[in-house]
Amino acid sequence: MTFRERWNRIIKERSALVAVHGPDLTLTFAELDSQARALKPQGDVFIAQGNTPDLLKATLAGLLQGVPVQWVEKDRSRRVPAMPLPDGTAFIKQTVGGSGVRRCQFFTFEQIAADVDRLHDYFDLANRGAAVAAISCAHSYGLTMTVMQTLLNGVPLCWAPQPFAQPLMDAMRPHERVFLPGVPAMWKAWLMGQVSFANVSLAISAGSPLTPELAAMAREKHSLELRNLYGTSECGAISCDGELLAGVEAQNGPEGRLIIESSSVGLGYDETLPGETFENGRFLTCDAVSLENGRLSFEKSLGRGINVAGRKLSPDEIAAKIRQAGDLGLVEVFGAPSRDPERCQDIVARVPLPQAEITVAFKTKVCAALAPWEVPRRWIGDA
């Protein structure tokens, strides 16, 4: 079924129902449709950037007008693809991923829809209430669990503009039932805070490994069963609680790295690194896993990407900013295991200075050029 066929059915059945609800904002499906049709592309694409409602409308506009949509995080500028768009491109993601290199990834409508529908069916989202958008909806996980569920399956969306306890509670309160996607660092804060989960029908964690301790806290303190979703931006969702999702085939490749075959694997990158496989329904991940009796267990990432609380960062981008801000020579940036398992990794910077010169003043000057989540927690100077 084409997008237009799906959307026309949603409009016919839900025109007057609320599509998205947020602070000082309520849009019915009919109003969302009208506002999206009034938007114009930026050149040859729709750039979907900003708050969740902005992403929702721009994505819908691109789908209705047959123009590719490029999803861009609020704090980023658009990366212009380094090659012409492959035939059939409907969506462009720009992300770091496990490789640690920021690139564009291309997808057809059918590939994204396969991922969205796989999650919709697996979690029975038609009967889970409203989707809570508290995480970034410019990321694959946030997109497929919230925005795209609204556009492809008519799931109502409630938007929490900040992922903190009060905005989250304000977003969930008007709804009888909701399902709540988050990353482990967010879940830890929510579970330890004053959040009530009385109307949460489904709790999902992804972005970084879910620890047994955090899952136990959810059960014991809130009687909440946290589902552990695993996937990548290149191929969408892969498994939940170790169980491969329907239509996803997995095998071990070189170094124990996971190879995925599914209908949601994208078309490829705009720039490909040596040894990569990402085409024709097949993707070689950067993750080493164990596979036994059809169940998957994540072991470690072998890529250069730094995972800070579920956000994948490029060490080269951070190093370049430090080098320029500090007028330095060679700067090395890498990730190291964090003492806080929900944070996953800490950023470490090695700079060509004596340790005594890595002062508070130096760090303040250099870190002014970095986003808060890019700031190193450890600094290493010359011996």
Q: Which domains does the chain have, with CATH numbers?
A: 3-231 (3.40.50.12780), 314-382 (3.30.300.30)
Supply the pLDDT for residue 58. 98
SS3 state at 239: strand
**Residue 253: burial class (beta carbons within 10 Å; 0-12, 13-18, 19+):** middle
Supply the pLDDT for residue 111. 98
Phi and psi of 103, rounded to 5°? Answer: -145, 175
Dihedral, CA of residue 106, residue 85, residue 44 and residue 32, to nearest 10:
-30
Supply the pLDDT for residue 140. 93
Phi and psi of 219, rounded to 5°? Answer: -70, -45
Residues contacting residue 328 through CB under 8 Å, at least 6 positions apart: 322, 351, 352, 353
Backbone Cα Rg of the chain: 21
Tokens of 28: 């019915």
Supply the pLDDT for residue 383. 65
DSSP conformation letters of 17-82: SEEEEETTEEEEHHHHHHHHHT---BTTBEEE-SSHHHHHHHHHHHHHHT--EEE--TTSPPPPPS
The whole-number mean pLDDT for each consecutive block of 10 residues of the chain, a chain of 383 residues, reads 96 97 94 98 96 96 98 90 97 93 97 98 98 93 97 97 92 96 96 94 96 96 96 97 96 94 98 94 96 92 93 94 94 95 95 94 95 94 82
Supply the pLDDT for residue 74. 86
Residues contacting residue 145 through CB under 8 Å, at least 6 positions apart: 119, 131, 179, 181, 204
Supply the pLDDT for residue 382. 86
